[in-house]
Structure 1
Amino acid sequence: MEQTKEISALLQLIDDPDEEVFGAVSEKIVEYGKPIIPNLEDLWENTPNETIQSRIELIIHKLQFTDLAEDFRQWNVAGHFDLMVGSLLVAKFQYPDLSTAPVLHEIEKLRRNVWLELNNYLTPLEQIRIITGIIYGYYGLKGTEVSYTNINDFLLNKVLETKRGNQLSNGILYLIICDLLDIPVKAISIPKQFVLAFQKPGYSTEEADFASKIEFYIEPASGQVFSHKDIESYFKRISVPALPSYFKPLSNKKIIQYLLEELANCFDNDKEHYKKEELLKLANMLD
């Protein structure tokens, strides 16, 4: 952006020791939108003072967050709730300059490898074994325990780059591939787990007995398949009644909301607590 007298004056005030003055200045700078980021980056490069650099970084983050919040608003009101698009928006919180092309290329490569192995004569279990074999065997995706110190394990771009993710991020990747291939796999909200379920034909969200419309379940960290008996044993082990609502498929919007809430837990510290609040704000936007 062309550096006008007003912009120059605002940038000079970033180092004002008065926090109220800095707050007012940063709000005014944010009003210029993303085009002012190169001006801020140039100032950062020519500023040896680390405190001033931190302030500049904070303003840049505010600008990027404002832009991301608008993208989430548009994703929400559009009503399509594309899971891949939503996941990439979440990733842009941590990687605002993320190029989506490599991600789309990797997902298309996975989709095509699975598609080449599928045919109309396979049973549901055979279909899932092929998907699991490609994703976890041929492709080499690994599952990790959910850890809020490993931010990248939640982000689709990094899961594809490092070939490791937790139950939630691996599950989202699995769902994206199944959706692209019209395979009826959905996420369900089993307590303390992110579990996938293969839906039987004729499934309807209007029915009360959701569990009866599930063929089998998939643990997405590893791709392991398990049965209704395994689920019953799990509920007994955690001493929780198996309510019908636990077997109702989660919408893509709910999945992205859950991903935002889980990612927010990665910033549960004094230094980055503002990021936790921002992620929860994005999650609340989807209500």
Structure 2
Amino acid sequence: MNKNKLEALLSLLDDPDKIIHKSVEKELIELPVSTIPQLEDSWLESKSPLFQERVEIVINKIQFSTVKKEFIEWSTTKTPNLIDGAILVNKSYNPNLLIEPIRKSIQKIKEDVSLEINDDLSPLEKIKILNHFFFNIYNYQALSPNQPTNWDGDIGTVLSQKHGNSIIMAIIYAGIAQELNIPVYGINLPNSVLLCYKDEASKNSKKKNADSVLFYINPIDKGSVFNQKDLEQIIHSKNMENKLKFYKLASNTNMIKRLVQHEINVYQKLNLDSFIPNFKELFRSI
């Protein structure tokens, strides 16, 4: 959009006629994120509180629209990266999120773990090494679900604080594992943060269902390992019908959807309602 047309639209943004205002806003929010500096300059130059308020709304909608598009693109890739998915959720309400520190934190853990891991190790040995660095050396811990905060799902904050809700901790743990070519994934047990170690040897075999899992992992109990029988007991303790799908791998998009749903629940509890519509839109987009 050329400068003259942009200025013409902005001159109508605080028009008292609601129809005109909404029409102008609709056109403005279609602008690329690169236009935001010009909108911010207009905000600084204006002395109208109403204009400034409406410019802020336009900027926020442009930023969210950009993240939503990235989120949809992420979800449709062949192998959506868990860490990238968590970053996009964080960006949906913090568009100025610094990604480089996040990636540096992840890379440091990966480098430390990779020095100790080789192809001769068994799956259990690999998980033992990952657990040692993640829980003992870096001391990551899950926060109590009884103390929800508006930051416990932010991957940026969680990596710096080394604390977070159980879902983001499972995502970071599995995300690091996957980037190290260790096949750790979520499972399809509702309201669960449990993970599994995929049996890579069964990819081309006739094994089905739970047989494609070597063992299960509890990322909020320092990566403790358990078997299918133990998972059956967990399902029984939850008074749930024992369905075969509960033992299967969950997709990475499913894991990120759980994070978004958690954010919706937490923000509702904290009465931070202004963020909820965007979370719901993000949830529906994948």
TM-score bracket relative to the smaller structure: 0.7 to 0.9
Cα distance in 2 for residues equivalent to 1:272 and 1:173 = 25
Identify the residue that residue 252 of structure 1 maps to in structure 2: 252
Aligned-pair distance for 1:188?
Answer: 0.4
Aligned-pair distance for 1:260?
Answer: 2.6
1:72 to 2:71 alignment: yes
Aligned-pair distance for 1:213?
Answer: 4.2
Identify the residue that residue 185 of structure 1 maps to in structure 2: 184
Cα distance in 1 for residues equivalent to 2:72 and 2:192 = 28
Conserved 8 A contact 2:169-2:219 = yes
Identify the residue that residue 282 of structure 2 maps to in structure 1: 282
Identify the residue that residue 24 of structure 1 maps to in structure 2: 23
Cα distance in 2 for residues equivalent to 1:70 and 1:120 = 38
Residue segments in structure 2 that go unaligned for 5+ positions in a row: none
Identify the residue that residue 170 of structure 2 maps to in structure 1: 171
Trace 1:138-287 onto structure 2 (pairs within 5 A). 138-146=137-145, 149-204=148-203, 207-210=207-210, 212-228=211-227, 229-268=229-268, 273=273, 275-286=275-286
Cα distance in 1 for residues equivalent to 2:280 and 2:267 = 11
Cα distance in 1 for residues equivalent to 2:176 and 2:88 = 18
Identify the residue that residue 109 of structure 1 maps to in structure 2: 108
TM-score normalised to the size of structure 2?
0.85
Cα distance in 2 for residues equivalent to 1:21 and 1:251 = 44
Conserved 8 A contact 1:216-1:226 = yes
Deviations 1:146-205 (A, max 9, x none): 479523222222221221111111111111111122212211022321111123352349
Aligned-pair distance for 1:41?
Answer: 1.6
**Aligned residue pairs, count:** 284
Q: Please report the RMSD computed on the Cα atoms of aligned residues, expressed in angstroms.
A: 2.9
Aligned-pair distance for 1:250?
Answer: 0.9
Identify the residue that residue 40 of structure 2 maps to in structure 1: 41
Cα distance in 2 for residues equivalent to 1:47 and 1:266 = 36
Cα distance in 1 for residues equivalent to 2:265 and 2:87 = 18
Conserved 8 A contact 2:142-2:169 = yes
TM-score normalised to the size of structure 1?
0.85
Conserved 8 A contact 1:198-1:216 = yes
Cα distance in 1 for residues equivalent to 2:215 and 2:10 = 59
Cα distance in 1 for residues equivalent to 2:148 and 2:50 = 25
Conserved 8 A contact 1:167-1:219 = no
Aligned-pair distance for 1:269?
Answer: 8.2
Identify the residue that residue 7 of structure 2 maps to in structure 1: 8
SS in 2 for 1:177: helix
Conserved 8 A contact 2:93-2:275 = no
Residue segments in structure 1 that go unaligned for 5+ positions in a row: none
Letter in 1 for 2:197: F
Deviations 1:28-84 (A, max 9, x none): 222332232112222333456655443222111111122122222322344332222
SS in 2 for 1:198: strand
Aligned-pair distance for 1:123?
Answer: 3.5
CA spacing shift, 1:47–1:139, aligned 2, 3 Å = farther
Greater shift, 139-148 or 242-251, is seen at 139-148
Conserved 8 A contact 1:208-1:244 = no
Identity %: 27
Cα distance in 2 for residues equivalent to 1:194 and 1:269 = 20
Letter in 1 for 2:247: F
Aligned-pair distance for 1:272?
Answer: 5.9
